[in-house]
Structure 1
Amino acid sequence: MIAGQLIMPATQNTAACASNIQRPTSNAQHPTGNTARPTTPVQASVPTSTLDIGCPTFDIRREAPPGNIISHIRPDIGQYVGSPSIAILPDGAYVASHDLFGPGTTEHKRATTLIFRSEDRGATWRQIACVEPAFWSNLFVHDSGDARGAALYLFGPTHHHGLLVIRRSDDGGHTWTEPRDAASGLLTPYGQYHTAPMPMLAHRGRIWRAVEDATASTHWGQRYNPVLMSAPLGADLLRRDSWSFSGMYRQSRDWLGGRFGGWLEGNAVALPDGRVADVLRVDYAPGGKAALVTLADDGHTLEFSPADASNGTGGTGAGFIDLPGGPTKFSIRRDPRSPDSAPVYWTLANAVPPRHARDKENHCAIRNTLALLRSTDLRNWELRYVPLYHPDSKRHAFQYVDWLFDTDGNGDDLVVASRTAWDDQHGGAPNEHDANFLTFHRIQNFSTQTMADSVVDPTGLGW
């Protein structure tokens, strides 16, 4: 598919967000301050058909990644595309976001998140805002039942291991509230937190979100432990006192025969029996594991059994489950059309085909295959379809995807935002992790797709 256009506005504040992105300063600023700059430019790959708007452009038709390009950051400046998120507004517009990470950014002091909007169901995109400080953040639409109606929210840390904040936009993402205090979106006054653009769960009268406390260590993986937070559906989500936090469940390095490396980027989910749980990515070589942590009936205590379902020691209560793509970030959502008595869950994950199983020792770094998986119990997962694939796993990836059901009317689609590592005229992504594109994809008729419908012959991958 030829890449879509990223159309920039004719009038731009070129001294604002773009200059900050390309030449970030090292001046420390208050961690809860916010800057929302509308209609500012980004380093973007756009087809030559947009030359008439006066923005720097180049022809990428020979090098374009699959899907429609939302954003492109040239990788040779030490800045990379992270944390893709996507939302569908009540008026039908799509909004997407990504942050910037890497040595050329200020991700550890004052992180930057870019906001984009599409009025044509993902065919073309334009940047509408630049939000600071914001990192590892997800977009979502929520109606608290007040006179303002449904609003767009952005939730996440201020920076790498920063404080948790939430912002609201009442104009579709152009402008945002500022999280200055306990009444305006500063949800944690102290601490260190980790997350990614993970789903919000509306369940039993509350809105739920999984995060990780990052204070247990200074080492990646070992420092993260799961926490569930929630607020009443009708509450003011910007108020700190609207939110309740569960206790933290501490990990053990002895799990999985001493090969457990950490758990992170959890999904708040409702189990078939109605209990709330957190399904987390697990760092474990080679890979293929996830962790299922449940919330006790007291609404505060997290419970976990470190037994491994695959070796038969844990039965149906095993905390470690087999999930293709489990060592990398994945988002789980329940199909809204499935009944409470027979829920169906879907995820898009970087499942590793047998053909690539020996590319790298830890499958966490193999992200060139994106697979659609289905489950009816959150414990057993079935490979259904491969929508994206590249034969090279060293410098190509479709990772950290955020996605939503787009099933209004007669539709049966998924809309997807991907952190994509691909070739460009600046040398391309330096590796699979340091992505240079945010791309949009639509998976049509997702629920009826089979492995035989995949973009690549699955038998050639060893499946």
Structure 2
Amino acid sequence: MTLKNAMITICLVFLIGNAQAQDFPGVPGNIVTHSPASSGMYIGSPSIAILPNGDYVASHDLFGSKSTEHVSAVSRIFSSSDKGKTWKQISEINGQFWSKLLVHQGNLYLFGTNRHHGNTIIRKSVDGGVSWTSPTDAQNGLLKEGEYHCAPMPFVEHDGRLWRAMEDAAGPPKQWGKRYSAFMMSIPLQADPMVASNWTSSNIMRYDSTYLNGHFTGWLEGNAVIAPDGSVLDILRVDDRTTMEEKAAIVRVSADGKTATFDPATGFIALPGGSKKFTIKYDAKSGLYWTLTNLVPDTVKAANAGKSPSGIRNTLGLFSSKDLKTWKFHQTLLEHPDVVKHGFQYVDWLFDGKDIIFLSRTAYDDGLGGARNNHDANFLTFHRVRKFRRH
């Protein structure tokens, strides 16, 4: 190890230990970790999983001007043995970004890319996230080489397969939104997810500037969702900066996972918070689909007229739907009056008995100048919605 690398490692260890030792009164939820704005490295891509023994596992990556996101991104893994009250870091991974934790076949996996717009990769852990495999080749976790995009989006089991939405990022370079093309990946439940040839990919659905009367500027961060009729859907975040009326897009996928189709006349639906990352899950007990989204309340819309709703992330709400088209508001989970330097975003969540548990990429006051802005979060926070079905 060079002296420079050694100093960097010492500084990182100091920052991690210092962050976990500090108390941050007023920050909502339980703090998993903190990265001050002065570090130039911001908290991204929250993901959460529950291990077979009941322990919680959390992950996040680091992005920003002083991170290595564009070369070989860094992700960190945390665990909690007391239902999310306290957390400890158990590992750090070099070469992992935009990733989702998954418990499958009794093992823990981490699926994402190796860097910003990098290869699609998956890693495996047999010790609860302490150690991980390396994606060396197509037999061991290197699933797709090229430029890909994703977020910590859900995996869904259906009809003997595991489904996961992704985006190709090989469109026009340096044009956010326009470069992203939607597609679906799937694999038989009994197949080894570490082997690239076991995965099936649909055709990619390219960006089309004619959608939404020419106001469509991108779709991304798709959810694999099973529709009420049993068909497979990819429900994506939609960028349209001309209106505060947010929406999502529904791409349909064939039963064999090979063909994706989209009808722009019927495929766009109204969804509060749909211009930001959201996760949709089906709950068999209530017979409803649930989501946590960054809605923009009417008072905030009025105060921010003319702004893009995708940049307003200071309110998090709980919604449900019977048909994935009409969404009912249940309650506000987190909010702050300031839209500039406060945000509760990129929420990843799970059902946990009668509750919902979730992680938030949180931008909030820390006594050190706060977050750089609402997007460049300085906290990873854990939260619980108790008895969510009663609301």
User: Is the aligned partner of 1:444 residue 2:386?
Assistant: yes
Aligned to 2:142, the other structure's residue is in SS state coil
User: Is the aligned partner of 1:295 residue 2:253?
Assistant: yes
Q: CA RMSD in A?
A: 1.8
1:420 to 352, 357, 362: 362
Aligned to 1:256, the other structure's residue is in SS state helix
Compute the displacement of 1:337 (Å): 2.5
Equivalence map 1:379-398=2 (5 Å): 379-398=325-344
1:326 to 262, 271, 274: 274
**Structure 1 partner of 2:168:** 213
**Structure 2 partner of 1:368:** 314
Aligned-partner Cα distance in 1 for 2:101–2:258? 26
One-letter identity of the residue aligned with 1:222: K
Does the CA-based 8 Å contact 1:40-1:128 persist in structure 2?
no
Aligned-partner Cα distance in 2 for 1:426–1:123? 24
**Structure 2 partner of 1:268:** 224
**Structure 2 partner of 1:192:** 147
One-letter identity of the residue aligned with 2:67: T
Equivalence map 1:99-138=2 (5 Å): 99-138=61-100
**Structure 2 partner of 1:460:** none
2:285 to 322, 330, 337: 337
One-letter identity of the residue aligned with 2:318: L
TM-score (norm 1): 0.80
**Structure 2 partner of 1:19:** 8
One-letter identity of the residue aligned with 2:158: H
Aligned-partner Cα distance in 2 for 1:20–1:111? 15
Aligned-partner Cα distance in 1 for 2:222–2:212? 19
Compute the displacement of 1:251 (Å): 2.1
**Structure 2 partner of 1:50:** none
One-letter identity of the residue aligned with 2:269: I
**Structure 2 partner of 1:351:** 295
Aligned-partner Cα distance in 2 for 1:43–1:123? 18
Aligned-partner Cα distance in 2 for 1:206–1:400? 26
User: Is the aligned partner of 1:227 residue 2:183?
Assistant: yes
Gaps of 5+ in 2: none
Equivalence map 1:99-178=2 (5 Å): 99-143=61-105, 150-178=106-134
**Structure 1 partner of 2:211:** 255
One-letter identity of the residue aligned with 1:386: T
One-letter identity of the residue aligned with 1:278: D
Compute the displacement of 1:336 (Å): 3.8
> Number of residues paired by the alignment?
383
Cα distance change, pair 261–18 in 1 and its aligned pair in 2 (3 A): farther
TM-score (norm 2): 0.94
Compute the displacement of 1:211 (Å): 0.4
Compute the displacement of 1:296 (Å): 2.9
Cα distance change, pair 124–187 in 1 and its aligned pair in 2 (3 A): same
Over 6 Å off, 4+ runs: 15-18
Cα distance change, pair 304–369 in 1 and its aligned pair in 2 (3 A): same
Does the CA-based 8 Å contact 2:200-2:257 persist in structure 1?
no
Compute the displacement of 1:58 (Å): 3.4
Which has the larger strand fraction? 2
| Alpha-carbon displacement from aligned partner over 1:268-320 (angstroms, at most 9, x marks no partner) | 0111111101000000123411000001356311111112xxxxxxxxxx100
Compute the displacement of 1:140 (Å): 1.1
Compute the displacement of 1:139 (Å): 0.4
One-letter identity of the residue aligned with 2:189: L
Aligned to 1:136, the other structure's residue is in SS state strand
Aligned to 1:19, the other structure's residue is in SS state helix
User: Is the aligned partner of 1:42 residue 2:16?
Assistant: yes
Does the CA-based 8 Å contact 1:43-1:73 persist in structure 2?
no
Aligned to 1:163, the other structure's residue is in SS state strand
Cα distance change, pair 115–281 in 1 and its aligned pair in 2 (3 A): same
Aligned to 1:137, the other structure's residue is in SS state strand
Aligned-partner Cα distance in 1 for 2:32–2:131? 19
Gaps of 5+ in 1: 1-14, 24-38, 47-56, 144-149, 308-317, 450-463
Percent identity reads 50
Aligned-partner Cα distance in 2 for 1:350–1:361? 15
Equivalence map 1:78-97=2 (5 Å): 78-97=40-59
User: Is the aligned partner of 1:58 residue 2:44?
Assistant: no
Does the CA-based 8 Å contact 2:185-2:257 persist in structure 1?
no
Aligned to 1:175, the other structure's residue is in SS state coil
Cα distance change, pair 244–385 in 1 and its aligned pair in 2 (3 A): same
Bigger radius of gyration: 1
Cα distance change, pair 18–271 in 1 and its aligned pair in 2 (3 A): farther
**Structure 2 partner of 1:304:** 262
Compute the displacement of 1:428 (Å): 0.5
Cα distance change, pair 221–90 in 1 and its aligned pair in 2 (3 A): same
| Alpha-carbon displacement from aligned partner over 1:376-415 (angstroms, at most 9, x marks no partner) | 11111111111111111111010000000001xxxx1000
Compute the displacement of 1:45 (Å): 3.3
